[in-house]
Amino acid sequence: MPSSVSGQTANIAFHSSMRSNGCFHVHEPYIFDEKEIDVGNGYNVHDGIYVVPVSGTYVFTFTIAAPEDYYIHPEIVVNGAAKDSSISDSGDSSDIHPVTVLVVVRVKAGDHVFVRTEHSNTCTVMSDVTHGKSTFSGWLLF
């Protein structure tokens, strides 16, 4: 049951993106350094970690793209445990193939949520206007 303020369910949401391409090693949290919305003040642009402000059921989603000729296997992590993942694989193509993952999870206030690479053959995460921004978002569902 989410917290309430004066009988109303708290509005909690964040959306962040990477300003430009970044290099992240295996199990290192991605840093989405452009915070566009952060109702609840849970996302940290310096370490890439979202600290859940209110217990409840949340929707978290991210979009990540590997550069041409590479793959990235990103995952969403809650308190050190992977919750879901996918693969962005541009293979031998000159195209960029982003991946989007969406997960619905129950979390408690103070839990840590972030996106990282589980494995890959590059450290580069693409994020630019031409190929699309890499993003990380979440919101309290109930």
pLDDT band at 94 (very low <50, low <70, confident <90, very high): low
Within its chain, how far is the Cα of 103 from the centroid? 10
For 32-59, how does the pLDDT look when each residue is reduced to its tens digit (9 = 90+)? 999 999 999 999 999 999 999 999 999 9
pTM, two decimals, is: 0.88
Strands 88-89 and 71-78: antiparallel
Domains in the chain, number: 1
Q: How large a percentage of the chain has pLDDT more than 90?
A: 66
Question: What six digits make up the tokens of 17?
Answer: 């993106």
Decide if 3 is inside a domain. no
Decide if 108 is inside a domain. yes
pLDDT of residue 132: 85
Q: Does residue 1 or residue 41 have the better pLDDT?
A: 41
Decide if 2 is inside a domain. no
pLDDT of residue 7: 45
pLDDT band at 95 (very low <50, low <70, confident <90, very high): confident
| Residue 13, CA distances (Å) to 28, 31, 56, 95 in order | 23, 17, 12, 32
Decide if 71 is inside a domain. yes
pLDDT of residue 92: 65
The CATH number covering residue 128 comes to 2.60.120.40
pLDDT of residue 93: 61
Decide if 124 is inside a domain. yes
Question: Is residue 142 within 8 Å of residue 38, measured between CB atoms?
Answer: no
Decide if 6 is inside a domain. no
Q: Which residues face 109 on adjacent strands?
A: none
The terminus-to-terminus CA distance of the chain in angstroms comes to 7
pLDDT of residue 123: 87
Decide if 30 is inside a domain. yes
Question: What six digits make up the tokens of 27?
Answer: 């199990």
Q: Which residues face 60 on adjacent strands?
A: 103, 138
Range of the domain at 106: 12-140
Decide if 56 is inside a domain. yes
